[in-house]
Structure formats: structure tokens, C-alpha cells
Structure 1
Amino acid sequence: MQNDMDLTRARAAAEAALTAAERDGKRISIAVVDHRGQDVLVLRGDGAPWFTAGVARAKAATAALMGAASGDLAGLRAAHPELLDLIGAQTPQPMTTLAGGVPVRLGVDVVGAIGVSGADPDEDVAFARAGIAALRAIGERSAS
């Protein structure tokens, strides 16, 4: 995997997440962002509710900017209720502790994130991880 999130990689990740969701009969939206939380690709699958694209964006941006899965930040919100709101006021997308945003790492560096919305929280995470697996496969092929 290269050091940046480009459109080719974003498409592969989104298609892998969407395919995994469709196999399970789920209708989702996927957002792939770069390390700054900026959109690279946002896709709303057929039949996914209108609001899921925006929720997927928030999950992905949160994961990229915080370097942690969005759902893992619930403890931070509980310990410091105002902190995520203060951070979120400085970002283009609202911050969220909803599960489904997963950072994409190259070594220790966050190069982007994938956010999924539309299924149950654990399913959203699984579909995001399917997207990350597709990115890793691309990276392994290009390294060969």
C-alpha cells in the first residue's frame, strides 16, 4: 500500500465493503477519506437510507483524524464529555463515537479511513474491515 489514499484504492475498498454487505443482505453507505479526514470517495449503495452517507463520512473522518476506530472513542467521550465536541468544532465533519469507522494504517502512520453506515454497528465494522483487506491485497500485488 502506498502512503496516500487515492481514488483507485478508495474504489477497491468501497466495492469490497459493498460486496460484503450485499452478501449479507445489508444496504449501506461507505466513505473513504484521506489522513486529513477529507473525502476521497463516498458511495451510497442501492436502497441505503439517505442519511447513511453522511454518517459514514463522520465515522471515517473521526477514525482518520483520531487514529482510532470511531466506536473505540466512547470511553473518551465518557471520561471527557466536551473534548470530542471541541475537537469536532475544528474539523470538516462532526466527530462520532458510533462504530463503523476504521483507520487505514501503513505501519504506524494513518493514511486514511473507511466508514460504513447502514447495518448494525458490528456489521458496519466488519464491512469496513473487508474494505481494508482489499486495500492490503492491492498493496501486496503492487509490492510484488
Structure 2
Amino acid sequence: MIRVLFVCTGNTCRSPMAEAILKNKNIEGIEVKSAGVYASAGQDASLHAKNVLIENEIVHNHHSTPLSEKEMEWASHIFTMTEGHKAVIIRTYPKMIGKTFTLKEFVIDDKYDRDIMDPFGGSEGIYQETFKELQELIEELVIRLKE
């Protein structure tokens, strides 16, 4: 079983969209969750994130989850949205280093641009751009995970 944990800051924008995109694919043998390094428990996804998912015909009921050792132990793969998120995880939980990557690092191994833009506070258009980037990366992620 492949267990994917997407991680961002507050677990209201990027990681919930990534979770929704991958879950929507309904791939047997892949489970997915999301969490935030500085998330409060139980918050809804941001309005623009929800709207973008709806526009792309993805249904996702989301409540934010603070990142904890429990979620990381559950995961076989931890994918962060930024190098900063990855650094927080590795600094706080050094034993997670072998399964923690930025999403871009794992998928395209870009040594210079490993961060996914944070749409928080931006327009719905910005959220749409982030969604498209996540969608493309997750298409490649599925291929890599099946290898």
C-alpha cells in the first residue's frame, strides 16, 4: 500500500488541493491525506481552493490537520510544497528524512525551483494557477509511484 501525505503550511490551500487531486483519481493501492506544519485542527479549505476544485469537478470534504508524528508514521511518502516545509519536518523528525521530499524534487528533480507557489491571500486566478501546477505534478507523481 502506498500512503501519500501532502504537507503545506496551514493545510487550507495547497496540500488539500493536492490531496483532492490524487484522491479523485481513485487509484487502487494508493491512500492519501494532507496536513500542515502550522495548521490548526478542523479548519475548512480556503474558499478559493474549494471553488477551484468545484470548477474542476473534484469533490473534496476537507478539515485541516496539524502535522504530527502519527500522520508521518502512517505515510510511506511525505511530499511537501516547499523546501521550508521539508526542512521543518527533517529538523523536528530526523527519522523521516528517507521518505520526505518536496513534490517537485520527487517528480522532476528540479534542483533550483522546488517550491510550489502559495496562493494564500491571492485571487481565485492564482489558486487556479497553483491547481494546474499541482495537477501536472501529480500526473507525474502517479507514474513515479507505480515504477
Shorter-chain TM-score above 0.5: no
Q: TM-score, structure 1 length as denominator?
A: 0.32
Structure with higher RCO (Cα < 8 A, 6+ apart): 1
Q: TM-score, structure 2 length as denominator?
A: 0.31
